[in-house]
Structure 1
Amino acid sequence: MASRLVSVPGVRAVSLGGSRARGTHRPDSDWDLGVYYRGVPDVAALTALACEVQGSPAQVAGPGGWGRWVDGGAWLRVDGTAVDWILRDLDRVEAVWSDCRAGRYEVGVQPGHPLGFWSPAYPGEIALCHVLADPHGVLTALRRETADYPEPLRTALMDASWEAQFLVEAARKSSPAGDALHVALCLSRAFGILAQSLHAHHRVWCLNEKGALASAAALPDAPADFAARVGEVVRELDPAAVERASELVRNVRSALAPGGAEGGGTGG
């Protein structure tokens, strides 16, 4: 399938991503194919290929069809197996990678990403992927580059933990009034930021919210029982839960402080 995809005008490379690339998949996990293009890919040709491999009518969302960050693609069933094509604009990916190396990142609003789409996911996807088809060598070169987690990005994402404390303070004001929605949103985002900061501290790419808590909890400098304590907070959302959230924020920010232990590697 990957070799057929790179024959489509505009498509430059195809990768295997997601849990199957990382070896954390279940038997029923989807197969995620990153379809990297330049310019405007031939959506009609992609649709024709999708219909052929699925053996039935299929739809392909072109660039931007699934939102600014996820971009577009297709959800297919091939021989009873879920196969997702996920479009990625190489020019944009390379621009984001340049920003990350300079310590700059964005968090964009994106359907399906309740904590937002963190732009470092783009280079993280490449760092953790298996290259399936790359006739021009562009994805292979990027994969070599992203094997080294940029120190400026690490610093920026660790510094982002300040917002977690700010959000806890906001939740502390809303909780006595019973404003459960505001408290839940504040604390959920606070914990999402802590997960990003902990991953960056250990130079581990964090791609999205799914599995991020368990992955962060397994990192060496995560507070003891991190995942369980987060679970207790988000189940209750009362003033006492806000105080427990505040303690967790202090624990993580202490681990991120200069002089704390440093992790290594790019997996996760």
Structure 2
Amino acid sequence: MRAALLQMTSGVDPASNAAVLVDAVVHAAADGAAMLFTPEMSGLLDRDRARAAASIVVEEEDRVLAAVRDAAARTGLWVHLGSLAVRNGDRYANRGFVIDGGGAIRARYDKLHLFDVDLPSGESWRESAAYRAGDTAVVVATPMGRLGMSICYDLRFSYLYRALSDAGAELLAVPAAFTRPTGAAHWHTLLRARAIEAGCFVLAAGQTGEHADGRATFGHALAVDPWGAVLLDMGEEAGLGFVELAPDRLAEVRAQIPALQHRRTIPPVTVA
């Protein structure tokens, strides 16, 4: 099974970002990928919320989503569109999509955990000021296996990935726009840990570089196997990466370390 990962430097113009995404769909299909994975906020990355508001629309009117669906239908390629900002009532949703080879949306996932933090670097992020958190975890059947969906900051909450693997996930998608300080400290470690504890392949497409809104992201889109081995690390360059996933590897690792079979409901904690 061949997967393609897109590492990109999304900007403040959805039309330009859509062009990058469509080009990636075309090239991933031509190079034999079964599915393309793109980063968080593939369609718009803009921390100026007043400016961004003009570009954030309801899902049915989102031109980036429409362009990717059209490209998927033209090429027959499945796409995990890591996430888009879409209008959700009086707020926004950070929403990921799985699009099939006919251009149909097979699954949607709204980011469960919102990133509110003040970093030692002086950066401050308040995702909850504009976004509404999701309330549903999602596993969807794809040509590459049963895919558990998540987005960026979700990576820090292991119980989500336990729930996804308990529901039959064989692959985990972690599209992200990790900051450089947190990426350097935690990105590789957390992704490898999620792969190991869930007994799943992990595919993590990332944002990278210096963005038009002034932020800088970590890059290093990764593919990790269920043993925790890094199969692909894209470094800091934008572009497409490809990785071969061996289906037999999943069964092999789960037989070697049958932790999923040994899971228990956590008993009450005694505080002495």
More helix by share: 1
Larger Rg: 1
More RCO (CA 8 Å, sep 6+) = 2
Q: Where is the strand percentage greater, Structure 1 or Structure 2?
A: 2
Would you call these one fold, judging by a TM-score over 0.5?
A: no
Q: Please, what TM-score do these two structures have when normalized by structure 2?
A: 0.30
Give the TM-score normalised by the residue count of structure 1.
0.30
